[in-house]
């Protein structure tokens, strides 16, 4: 065992990488939940995003096209959720589970011929001077572009929810869909847009795992990240910047336990591997006391009756 092998700078830099898929998925789900919809299919949308992104970048050689495909893939899968919950008015919990079960199977089917292939690399950005600053450079300015997209998205979602009319309407729909309907807002339409956005974000998060973090394709490779992202939204009290903080926290735990595994710490590998899940539970317990910030219409089906 040699803890000295763990390089703190690399550790911080890699925790940002580990956190990004979580962040992308959580930001998407946050918007969905703000609109009053609980989509438990994040895991399914992520894994479909992971394989769509992987397949398209392998076929085209362009990771950028891959990420676009991943966003589309996630959104298309979320369209099934739209059909179930917004059109067929099915229970959102059951529909989310269906999405995940279906997504896991579907991605495995799509991914059969992609096992063991290496995807084209995206490459990290490198800004002369700034990226070369010791410590700060590698931590903040030597990452792949999507990582920055994740942070930008967080800022954008925060600003939109807080300052824009679209954000206000979205919150209003999630708060009281009957009132929003009475004022003439198109509850279903707004929710559909939110769900599609959530799907696209989850797809991006999935592709980040298969194209950058790992990078390769294996069945079920999201391994619960989608579910942790759902927990993260609760952790964040539906606030974007807290989601970022939470994602980095979880990213940190993941990276740390991987580093400890690699360093050969005396704790058995299995216990280290289960730690992110146990910590998720602990965080949920600590934060579940305060549900006041949850959107009031969350998970309720809306049907306009006169």
Residues forming the site for another protein (CB under 8 A): 40, 80, 83-84, 88-91, 93-95, 97-98, 101-106, 108-109, 112, 165, 168-169, 171-172, 175-176, 178-180, 182-186, 188, 219, 223-224, 227-228, 230-231, 234, 268, 270-271, 273-274, 277-278, 280-281, 284-285, 288-289, 291-292, 295-296, 303-306
Torsion of Cα atoms, 59 then 62 then 67 then 70, to 10°: -10
Q: Write down the least CB distance from residue 252 to another protein, Å.
A: 18
Question: Contact 196/66 with Cβ under 8 angstroms?
Answer: no
Q: Write down the least CB distance from residue 258 to another protein, Å.
A: 14
Q: Write down the least CB distance from residue 188 to another protein, Å.
A: 7
Measure the CA–CA gap between 257 and 273, rounded to whole angstroms: 7
Q: Write down the least CB distance from residue 243 to another protein, Å.
A: 15
Q: Residue 12 or residue 214: which is nearer to another protein going by CB?
A: 214
Q: Write down the least CB distance from residue 175 to another protein, Å.
A: 4
Other CB atoms within a 10 A radius of the CB of residue 273 amount to 14
Q: Residue 2 or residue 270: which is nearer to another protein going by CB?
A: 270
Q: Residue 151 or residue 279: which is nearer to another protein going by CB?
A: 279
Q: Residue 63 or residue 295: which is nearer to another protein going by CB?
A: 295
Rg of the Cα trace of the chain?
A: 19
Q: Write down the least CB distance from residue 272 to another protein, Å.
A: 9
SS3 sequence, 235-301?
HCCCCHHHHHHHHHHHHHHHHHHHHHHHHCCCCCHHHHHHHHHHHHHHHHHHHCCCCCCCCCCCCCC
Q: Residue 118 or residue 165: which is nearer to another protein going by CB?
A: 165
Q: Residue 67 or residue 250: which is nearer to another protein going by CB?
A: 250
Measure the CA–CA gap between 111 and 105, rounded to whole angstroms: 10
Q: Residue 42 or residue 200: which is nearer to another protein going by CB?
A: 42
Q: Write down the least CB distance from residue 182 to another protein, Å.
A: 5
- C-alpha triplet 146, 116, 219: angle, nearest 5°: 75
Q: Please state the φ and ψ torsions of residue 21, each to the nearest 5 degrees.
A: -60, -40
DSSP, res 118 = P
Give long-range contacts, CB 8 A cutoff, 24+ apart: 288-294.
288/234, 290/237, 293/237, 293/238, 293/239, 294/33, 294/234, 294/238
- Could you tell me which residues come within 8 angstroms of residue 132 by beta carbon, excluding any fewer than 6 positions away? none
């Amino acid at each position: 065992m040699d803890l000295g092998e763990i390089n703190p700078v690399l550790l911080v830099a890699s925790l940002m990488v580990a956190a990004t898929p979580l962040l992308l998925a959580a930001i998407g789900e946050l918007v969905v939940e703000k609109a009053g919809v609980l989509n438990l299919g994040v895991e399914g949308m992520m894994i479909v995003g992971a394989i769509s992104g992987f397949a398209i970048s392998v076929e085209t050689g362009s990771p950028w096209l891959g990420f676009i495909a991943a966003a589309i893939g996630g959104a298309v899968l979320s369209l099934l959720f739209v059909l179930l919950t917004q059109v067929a008015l099915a229970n959102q919990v059951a529909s989310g589970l269906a999405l995940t079960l279906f997504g896991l199977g579907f991605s495995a089917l799509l991914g059969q011929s992609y096992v063991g292939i290496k995807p084209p690399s995206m490459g990290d950005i490198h800004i002369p001077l700034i990226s070369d600053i010791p410590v700060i450079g590698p931590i903040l300015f030597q990452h792949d572009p999507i990582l920055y997209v994740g942070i930008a998205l967080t800022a954008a979602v925060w600003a939109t929810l807080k300052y824009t009319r679209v954000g206000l309407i979205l919150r209003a729909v999630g708060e009281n869909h009957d009132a929003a309907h009475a004022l003439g807002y198109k509850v279903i339409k707004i929710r559909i847009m939110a769900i599609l956005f959530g799907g696209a974000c989850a797809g991006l998060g999935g592709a980040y795992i298969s194209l950058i973090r790992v990078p390769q394709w294996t069945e079920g490779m999201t391994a619960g990240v989608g579910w942790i992202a759902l927990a993260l939204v609760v952790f964040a009290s539906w606030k974007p910047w807290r989601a970022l903080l939470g994602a980095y926290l979880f990213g940190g735990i993941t990276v740390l336990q991987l580093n400890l595994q690699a360093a050969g710490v005396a704790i058995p590998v299995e216990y280290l591997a289960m730690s992110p899940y146990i910590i998720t539970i602990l965080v949920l317990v600590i934060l579940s006391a305060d549900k006041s910030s949850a959107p009031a219409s969350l998970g309720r089906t809306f049907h306009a009756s006169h």
